[in-house]
Amino acid sequence: MKKTTAAITAVGGYVPDFVLSNKVLETMVDTNDEWITTRTGIKERRILKEENAGTSFMAIRAAKDLLQKRGIEASEIDFVLVATATPDLPVASTAAYVASEIGAVNAFAYDLQAACSSFLYGMSTAASYIESGRYKKVLVIGADKMSSIIDYTDRTTCIIFGDGAGAVLFEPNEEGLGLQDEYLRSDGIGRQFLKIDAGGSILPASEETVKNKQHYVYQDGKSVFKFAVSNMADVSALIMERNNLTKDDVQWLAPHQANKRIIDATANRMGVEADKVLINIDRYGNTTSATLPLLLYDFEKQLKKGDNIIFAAFGGGFTWGSIYLKWAYNS
């Protein structure tokens, strides 16, 4: 009996129209295009400007794009997972709302929050559901409206983040394609280095927390960079070694788009050539949960059936990991 694996069978995406370029940021904070580009690789990022629009606005559009491309009805979806660090509302599930809005009337839904590793962890979750045999079509959406939690007077964070959403559909596969292996990690030491101080159960919102700007992202850039460089590179090299993959066996590296230098360090550790590394950080910045699916969305036409792809991510918490996946179709 053939083993059932979980393969990606469709991709969708959405980015807002408004472009926040480095040149515009020069007028907002003490920085410049050369400094940002040299240190991060970012030239511009997209910002969601629509009134009363949150993360679900982008997630819904990415999902509808996927359904249209795959040629299926939303009612065929069994499960909708939204990977996000910026849910529409506390308590109420963003995924449940997204599922209802796209017409996924037969699906259950929930959110997954692991900062920038959210989508990677979501891929693992989806694969487990598919491999169990209980569900046939699992929609995983990575979406974040990072502009909602960024202080645009803080040059350490406002240059990095952008808004966007990407979606993938996982379905059963009996050709040996799809998710092959994963190595997921976490370490609570990272809690102090990348966080939002207020708005949670420890420090609920108050007039004082708002006044002190404690509802925006705080990042200790040097510490996060150090942990990210070593850990993202380590797990990517480990998953290659565990599956007896050489650099020639890997067609693509799909790394989390946080910083070009972290991406380069990961590729170098793996021995993977630059032309095999999927990169769009220059156009979108760090869209947190959306970076990995947006890579697939942008580069889908270059992916071939049977291609070996190594995914890698690192996020606040700390959370990180790598997934080895065989691509299942020709676009």
pLDDT tens-digit map of 155-172: 999 999 999 999 999 999
Residue 105 has what pLDDT?
A: 98
Whether 158 sits among the annotated catalytic residues: the reply is: no
CA-wise closest residue to 226 among 195, 194, 273, 255: 194
- The last residue of one of the domains, among 126, 161, 176, is 176
- Cβ 142 vs Cβ 83: under 8 Å: yes
Residues 25 and 159 reside in one and the same domain: yes
Note whether 170 and 194 are same-domain residues.
no
Q: Is 256 a catalytic residue?
A: yes
Q: What is the pLDDT of residue 331?
A: 86
Residues 258 and 158 both lie in one domain: no
How many degrees, rounded to 5, is the angle at CA 298 between CA 292 and CA 301? 115
Query: What pLDDT is attached to residue 1?
Result: 64
d(CA 194, CA 192): 6
Of 148, 176, 204, the residue at which a domain comes to its end is: 176
Q: What does residue 276 show for φ and ψ, rounded to 5 degrees?
A: -100, 0
Residue 24: the pLDDT is: 97
CATH number of the domain where residue 250 is located: 3.40.47.10
pLDDT single digits (tens) 76-98: 999 999 999 999 999 999 999 99
Q: Is 215 a catalytic residue?
A: no
Statement to judge: residues 167 and 188 lie in one domain: no
Catalytic residue among 22, 173, 231, 286: 286
Q: What pLDDT, on a 0 to 100 scale, did the predictor assign at position 330?
A: 96
Domain boundary pick from 114, 148, 176 = 176
Q: Are residues 152 and 195 in the same domain?
A: no
Task: Answer yes or no: do 194 and 244 share one domain.
Answer: yes
22, 231, 256, 259: the catalytic one is 256
Dihedral pair phi/psi, residue 73, rounded to 5°: -90, 150
Total domains in the fold of the chain: 2
Write out the residue range of the structural domain in which residue 256 sits. 180-327
Q: How far apart are CA 318 and CA 182, in angstroms?
A: 17
Question: What's the pTM value of the predicted model, to 2 decimals?
Answer: 0.97
Q: Which residues of the chain have pLDDT under 70?
A: 1
Question: Does residue 161 share a domain with residue 193?
Answer: no
Residue of 22, 116, 158, 173 marked active site: 116
Please check whether residues 172 and 58 belong to one and the same domain.
Answer: yes
Exposed e or buried b per residue across 161-195, where buried means at least 16 C-beta atoms within 10 angstroms of its C-beta: bbbbbbbbbbbbbeeebbbbebbbebeeebeebbb
90 and 220 belong to one structural domain = no
Q: Are 201 and 83 in a shared domain?
A: no
Per-residue confidence (pLDDT) for residue 2, from 0 to 100? 80
